[in-house]
């Protein structure tokens, strides 16, 4: 690959396109060989051979007629098949250059370069190029230098392995790190299911003793299915998070992870729109947290993550982030302890949240009673069970509102808007004012009575403009201050 001339994808992409139709080939093969008549088999083989030839010719011509060109200010993708299409993507719109590698690509020594852009209207602006490993890494380095404002030069020296070791790094995740990350990030639903199954297991012992073995066996089967699901989930996480590492290299963040489907991201710091620090429910109990970045283009695919780290001690994480992303650490934060300190949501917000909870509770109770009345004539028999369920749900809704007020907060720093959200899980988002796409202020009649407003921030992330920070009650005075800082950031820019 020479970045000064036009180049094509690796020829492997033609074979890959043909293999991707394996279901069709399997169906045709089974259909042909199930025939008893030898002549019908011959005709079937000829038909399959013809289809294979047509698909190969189509894929070959598409590969042959699709070229790429890298200039100092743009990527030009030209496809000259039946319809000539020429796409030009400005270098300034590139947000990340990633290298992906699946099992087949690892065997053949190829890599898939995925170029994410600022486009929020269409995913068609993203470019994927399949090249040899060395060419893919060279293309990635060239594009990152162009993003930094350099021009294309031949024989540019790369960062050596020894130099890379000296850079700020969040070390590669070990097997223990992955295991505990899976434990600390277990979802509330999984915890509830585990508790329910444990309860059924205890009940099954008494059922077996009384000779009613059917219920006990079903409980054991349910428990076994749940355990198998947990093991599969852990294995998927292990292969997904395998050797996750974040490295700061000059003005970019390098993130790599994955076993079978390995991904390598190189993200310019200037393209990051938000830093998130998350504390799942179990992680909060053990004072653990993990970090991720929000960047346009990252997270569009199912297995694409933007994690900077797995769960670790939250103070240690704050220290790592101070070194890895100092651009997202507010000036007001003098030490590690202050990193998590924000202004608590006003106590008046508790009243508002409780009112909302009561409304949801009443809706749930009324709906439940109507459902019971419709489905069963003898309300007294079924009300006992559903009554307990309804009361439990109502209690959870009320606790959610209380905890939401207790743990939510915000900080209007000089350059950043920090918002902490969460009732059971907790999340802190750090967003530069200049990265906020819009700020929405909501005031209901109840809000006006208590002098509060609900602020909603939005910034571009992924394919569309996604809301990344929301649902925080602020006093009207702080709302005015937030708007002033938001508007002044654009004046400075």
The residue ranges of every structural domain in the chain are 12-158, 175-241, 245-345+408-492, 348-406
- Residue 86 pairs in a beta bridge with 78
Looking at per-residue confidence, does 431 or 120 come out higher? Answer: 431
How far is Cα 41 from Cα 46, in angstroms, rounded to an integer? 9
The pLDDT value recorded for residue 252 is 86
pLDDT tier at 472, thresholds 50, 70, 90:
confident
Q: What's the pLDDT score for residue 487?
A: 82
Q: Could you give the maximum distance between any two Cα atoms of the chain, in Å?
A: 86
3-class DSSP state of 395 = helix
Alpha carbon distance 45, 51 (integer Å): 10
Per-residue pLDDT tens digits for 72-126: 888 999 988 778 888 888 888 888 888 888 888 888 888 999 888 875 444 455 7
Q: Mean pLDDT over all residues of the chain?
A: 78
User: At residue 493, does pLDDT exceed 50?
Assistant: yes
pLDDT per residue as tens digits for the range 403-416 = 888 888 899 998 89
Segment 445-465, tens digit of pLDDT: 888 888 888 888 877 654 444
pLDDT tier, 32 (very low <50, low <70, confident <90, very high otherwise)? low
Asked whether residue 434 carries a pLDDT value surpassing 80, the answer given is yes
Tell me the C-alpha distance between 67 and 180, whole Å: 46
CB 271 within 8 A of CB 253: no
Edge-to-edge strands, sheet with 416-421: 312-313, 288-295, 272-279, 426-432, 416-421, 409-412, 343-344
DSSP code of 11? T
pTM: 0.76
Q: What does DSSP assign to residue 411? A: E
Mean pLDDT of the region 40-56: 76
Give SS3 for 251.
Answer: coil
Question: Among 85, 47, 38, 48, which Cα is nearest to 66's?
Answer: 85
Given the candidates 3.30.460.10, 3.40.50.620, 2.30.29.30, 3.40.50.300, the CATH classification of the domain at 12-158 is: 2.30.29.30
Q: pLDDT digit string (tens) for 238-247?
A: 888 888 988 8
Cα gap 14→64, rounded to integer Å: 10
Give the three-class secondary structure for 378.
coil
Residue-level pLDDT at 464: 40
Q: How many CB atoms lie within 10 A of CB 330?
A: 18
Q: Give the three-class secondary structure for 220.
A: helix
Which pLDDT belongs to residue 298? 65
Q: CA-to-CA distance for 453 and 444, rounded, in angstroms?
A: 8
Residue-wise pLDDT tens digits, 199-231: 655 555 555 555 555 555 666 666 677 677 777
Pairing of the two strands 245-249 and 169-170? antiparallel
* Separation of alpha carbons 346 and 183, rounded Å: 33
* Residue 257, phi then psi, degrees to nearest 5: -165, 165
Give tens-digit pLDDT for 143-156.
888 887 655 544 44
HSE, side-chain direction, 13 A CA sphere, residue 337 = 0
**Nearest CA-CA partner of 472 in 416, 427, 424, 432:** 427
Which of 31-40, 100-109, 201-210, 420-429 has the highest mean predicted lDDT (pLDDT)? 420-429
CA separation for the pair 376, 384 (Å, rounded): 13
């Amino acid at each position: 690959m020479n970045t000064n001339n036009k180049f094509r994808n690796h020829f492997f992409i033609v074979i890959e396109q043909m293999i991707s139709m394996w279901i069709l080939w399997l169906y045709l093969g089974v259909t042909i060989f199930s025939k008893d008549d030898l002549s019908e088999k011959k005709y079937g083989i000829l038909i399959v051979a013809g289809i294979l030839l047509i698909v190969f010719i189509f894929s070959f011509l598409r590969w042959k007629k699709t070229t790429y060109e890298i200039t100092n200010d743009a990527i030009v993708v030209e496809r000259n098949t039946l319809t000539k299409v020429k796409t030009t993507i400005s270098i300034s719109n590139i947000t990340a250059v990633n290298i992906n590698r699946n099992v087949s690509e690892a065997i053949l020594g190829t890599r898939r370069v995925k170029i994410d852009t600022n486009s929020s209207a269409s995913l068609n602006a993203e470019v994927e190029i399949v090249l040899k490993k060395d060419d893919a890494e060279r293309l990635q380095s060239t594009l990152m230098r162009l993003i930094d404002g350099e021009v294309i030069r031949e024989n540019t020296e790369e960062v050596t392995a020894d130099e890379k070791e000296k850079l700020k790094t969040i070390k590669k995740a070990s097997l223990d790190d992955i295991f505990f990350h899976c434990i600390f990030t277990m979802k509330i639903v999984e915890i509830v299911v585990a508790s329910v199954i444990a309860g059924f297991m205890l009940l099954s012992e008494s059922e077996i003793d009384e000779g009613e073995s059917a219920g006990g066996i079903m409980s054991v089967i349910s428990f076994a299915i749940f355990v198998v699901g947990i093991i599969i989930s852990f294995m998927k996480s292990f292969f997904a998070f395998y050797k996750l590492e974040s490295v700061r290299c000059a003005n970019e963040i390098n993130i790599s992870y994955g076993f079978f489907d390995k991904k390598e991201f190189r993200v310019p710091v200037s393209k990051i729109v938000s830093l998130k620090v998350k504390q799942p429910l179990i992680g909060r109990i053990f004072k653990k947290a993990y970090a991720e970045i929000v960047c346009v283009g990252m997270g569009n695919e199912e297995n694409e993550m933007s994690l900077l780290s797995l769960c670790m001690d939250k103070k240690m994480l704050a220290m790592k982030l101070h070194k890895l992303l100092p651009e997202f650490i507010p000036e007001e934060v003098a030490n590690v302890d202050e990193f998590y300190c924000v202004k608590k949501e006003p106590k008046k917000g508790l009243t508002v949240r409780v009112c909302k909870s009561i409304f949801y509770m009443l809706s749930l109770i009324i709906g439940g009673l109507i459902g019971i009345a419709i489905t069963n004539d003898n309300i007294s028999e079924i009300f006992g069970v559903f009554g307990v369920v309804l009361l439990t749900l109502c209690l959870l809704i009320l606790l959610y509102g209380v905890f939401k007020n207790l743990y939510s907060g915000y900080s209007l720093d000089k350059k950043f808007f920090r918002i902490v959200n969460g009732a059971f899980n907790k999340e802190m988002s750090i967003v530069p004012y200049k990265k906020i796409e819009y700020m929405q202020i909501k005031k209901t009649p109840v809000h006006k009575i208590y002098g509060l407003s609900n602020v909603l921030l939005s910034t571009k992330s992924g394919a569309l403009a996604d809301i990344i920070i929301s649902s925080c009650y602020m006093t009207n005075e702080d709302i005015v201050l937030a708007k002033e800082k938001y508007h002044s950031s654009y004046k400075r820019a």
